[in-house]
Every structure is written in C-alpha cells, then in structure tokens.
Amino acid sequence: MESCHKYSLPLIVLFLYMSFFFVAKADASIKQRPFNNKVSAGFVFGDSTVDPGNNNYVQTFFRSNFPPYGKDFKDQTPTGRFTNGKLSTDLIVSYIGIKEYLPPYLDPSLSIEELMTGVSFASAGSGFDPLTPQISSVVSIPNQLEYFKEYKKRLQSAVGKKRMEDTIEKAVFLISAGTNDFVVNYFTLPIRRRNYTVSAYQRFILQNVKQLLQDLWDEGARRIAVTGLPPMGCLPVVITLNSENAILERDCIEKYSRVGMEYNQMLQNEVNSMRGRLTHLGAKVYYVDIFTPLVDMIQGLGKLDFDEVSDGCCGSGYLEAGFLCNPGSYVCADASKYVFFDSIHPTVKAYTKLFIVNRPVIDSMIQD
C-alpha cells in the first residue's frame, strides 16, 4: 500500500494509462422530463467518466472507441465512452429532456443545432493538476475552458449575442475530475510528492477547482454541479496494484479512500461557501456525492445488487482498461452484474444507482 515499487515497470506504465470518473446518473428506464425551456443546454468539463469521445480527436493512447466499450450502447457502437453504454452526462441530459446523448465538442460533424443544446469538453486522463493531462497528452481543464470560450464565439456568430448569452445562462454545467490527479499522478509518480504532503496536494487541487468555478461564473455559468472523488481505494486497478495478494485479497485500500473522503469534505465546504456568496446573484452551485453511494454498492447493502464489486467486466477485471480492454478481451455476459465495466470505470447500472441518489441535486438545478 505504501508504493508500487514491488510491481514491475510494465505494470506501473499500465497503471498510468488508467483514468477515471464522474459518476452519475440514470438510464432509459428513468422517465424523461418533457422539454420545458427551463434548461437550454448541458456543458461538461472533466475526465474519462464524462468524455463521450473527445479523445478520438486527440493524439493520445487514452481512447476507448473500440469494442467491447459501447457493447450496450445504441447499435453496440463504441464511441469513445469508457463504459458499456451511456455516460452519466448522457443520462442527465436525457432525464432533463434536452437530448438523448451529449456529444464531444471536438467532433467536427456537429451541427449548430446540436451545439446549441450542449456538448462535453471533457478529456479522458485529464485532471485539475496541470501535470496530470501532460502524463497522457490529453486536453487540460484550462484548455477545456478555452474550448468553451471558442464555443461561445461560434454560437454567437450563428445565432447572435443575446441568444448565445441566454443559452449559457439557462444551461447546466457539470464538472467531474480529480481521481487522475491522485491515483495516476500523486500516488504513482514521485514529482508532486517531493513538494506536497497529501493535505497540501488536496488544497492545491481544491484551489484549481475553485479557479474553474470562478472562470465558469465569469463566462456566464449560473447552474453548476461538481462531483467529489470516488472511494479511490475501491477501484479494481488500485486494489490490484496495492494488495498484498491481488488475486485473493480484493478489499478496498483504505489509504486511498481516506484521502478522497477528506478531500470531498473540503470540496463540499467550498461549494457551500460559494453558493452562500452567490445565491443572491442567481447562482446555483452544488456538490455531488459519489463516494457514499459507491461505498454502499461495494461494501454495504447495495452490494447485494451486484455479483462482482472488486473487478471489472472486461478481461480479468484486475488491470484492463483502455487499449488493454479491446476486441480480443474476454467480456462478461452481463455487465449489469458488475459495479465496474473495466478496472476503473463504472457500468451503466452503477451510474444509474448513483443518479437515483443524486437526482435531487439535478432537480434543484433545473428548477426556476
């Protein structure tokens, strides 16, 4: 648990290929709301849990636009989403009634009509620490923000300034990142550990989150939800690389989950503070708890809904993700029996359960 030194270099390199997670929200069985113009669009920033395929257009190995990813998606299409079907963000916009899927901004084929109802700027492998996206050559969060500014200019050219501003004001914004900063960066590479204690690094990440929230506010965002970290020690890949016996001992690694829990409390306090300061200006800023419901699915009564809670559906379920979860991999027959689809990312069923827990947050965001 102290480090990964006991594992071979290929395993560590493999681990660096992993990215994670936002978590969230509902499948087609959850009734959609009729579109009522209360919400104009959805915009998303973050990592692989909310990247619907932006990395398909980036020079990186962090991709999932091949089977078995998308095996339960429409027409079994692998789109670049790191799961077996819809992402949480697809489920959210479908529930609200905006559209069925939230597309990647970097898709050059998107029409103005598609752009108007929202896109995801997220990039698998990214994080709040500027070093994190450099590890995998993906789109940093500051660059995701720059794409959003570019988006606004494109929209303004097409529909005019007033309509563009109205679209932004009525939109919902979702942020999901941070796991890569800790799992792939801080705890795996020595660079940040030389200069930051764990608590100092938590504060460093939180400062970058605060900066993003402020930047989005300055760009016109008024309804923003930001997720906390998952129980990082329960990710199958983390268990595999830190367990004394990765085959027989598949319990969560408490060290990692405790760091996430501490960070989440800090983030929640900051979000509550920001909401208090800005409510009178029409802001709605929310914290989304993914830690507690995931712990329940893995360790609590919720685990009764799953047959497998500590390994993924793809391959051995211990290490495979991205290009190691590929058309040649063994794939479980029924992903709904698993919390994780690969060694990092949840299944649609897990996302659905997370949505049910956090649906009041979405409902609060879309109310007048």
Whether 363 is catalytic is: no
pLDDT in tens, 74-105: 999 999 999 999 988 999 999 999 999 999 99
- CB proximity list for 326: less than 8 A, separation 6 or greater: 66, 67, 68
Whether 72 is catalytic is: no
pLDDT in tens, 198-222: 999 999 999 999 999 999 999 999 9
Percentage, residues of the chain above pLDDT 70 = 90
CA distance 82 to 84: 7
Among candidate residues 19, 140, 342, 343, the one labeled active-site is 342
Tell me if 137 is assigned to some domain.
yes
Whether 19 is catalytic is: no
Number of domains in the chain: 1
Tell me if 331 is assigned to some domain.
no
Does pLDDT of 7 surpass 70? no
pLDDT in tens, 253-297: 999 999 999 999 999 999 999 988 888 888 899 999 999 999 999
Q: Residue 368 has what pLDDT?
A: 62
Q: Which amino acid appears at position 168 of this protein?
A: I
Among candidate residues 19, 40, 48, 243, the one labeled active-site is 48
Full DSSP string of 212-252: HHHHHHHTT--EEEEE----GGGSHHHHHHH-SSTTT----
* Residues 328-354, mean pLDDT to the nearest whole number: 96
Going by pLDDT thresholds of 50, 70 and 90, the confidence category of residue 350 is: very high
Report CA torsion sign: 54, 288, 359, 234.
positive
Rg (CA), the chain: 19
Q: Which of 144, 168, 188, 118 is nearest to 54 (CA)?
A: 144
Among candidate residues 64, 126, 176, 345, the one labeled active-site is 345
Q: Residue 278 has what pLDDT?
A: 83
Tell me if 338 is assigned to some domain.
no
Tell me if 8 is assigned to some domain.
no
Range of the structural domain that residue 199 is part of: 41-233+254-299+346-366
CATH code of the domain covering residue 52:
3.40.50.1110
More confident residue, 181 or 354: 181
Tell me if 330 is assigned to some domain.
no
Tell me if 138 is assigned to some domain.
yes
CA distance 329 to 52: 22
Q: How many CA atoms lie within 13 A of 67 on its CB side?
A: 12
Q: Residue 279 has what pLDDT?
A: 80
Tell me if 184 is assigned to some domain.
yes
Does pLDDT of 335 surpass 60? yes
Q: Map residue 175 onto helix, strand or coil.
A: strand
Q: Residue 281 has what pLDDT?
A: 84
As a whole number, the mean pLDDT across the chain is: 90
Tell me if 105 is assigned to some domain.
yes
